[in-house]
Amino acid sequence: MPVVTKKYQVTIPKDVREALGIKAGDEVVFVRTREGYVIKPLDEFLKEMAELTGDIEETVDEVRQGLARGIERSLRELEGGE
């Protein structure tokens, strides 16, 4: 059973490291899910995020502009315009 040290470090058990393909020096991320947290190798996590966002063509600025237009439209509607 892994134990948290005074420096808040935990040794990942060998069977877990092997199952995840984690080697010394690898970076990992802790991903929050509905069921709790999942540990993933950083490169695997980045690949998953790239796949999820691969079809998004909008830039951050385009998203901000769209949100601003939506807010402006909502405010006009609240004021009785349009």
Q: Could you state, in order of their start, the residue ranges of all structural domains in the chain?
A: 14-78
List Cβ neighbours of 30 (8 Å cut-off, separation of 6 or more): 37, 38, 39
Pick the closest to residue 18 from 48, 43, 41, 51 (CA basis). Answer: 41
As a whole number, mean pLDDT of residues 56-78 equals 80
pLDDT at 52: 76
Q: Residue written as tokens 């009785």?
A: 80
| Residue 73 binned pLDDT confidence (cut-offs 50, 70, 90) | confident
Contact 42, 27 (CB under 8 A): yes
Distance, in Å, from the CA atom of 47 to the CA atom of 21, rounded to the nearest integer, reads 15
pLDDT of 71: 84
Q: Model's pTM, two decimal places?
A: 0.56
Residue reference for tokens 């970076």: 27
Q: Tens of pLDDT along 7-59?
A: 999 999 999 999 999 999 999 999 999 999 999 999 888 888 887 776 667 77
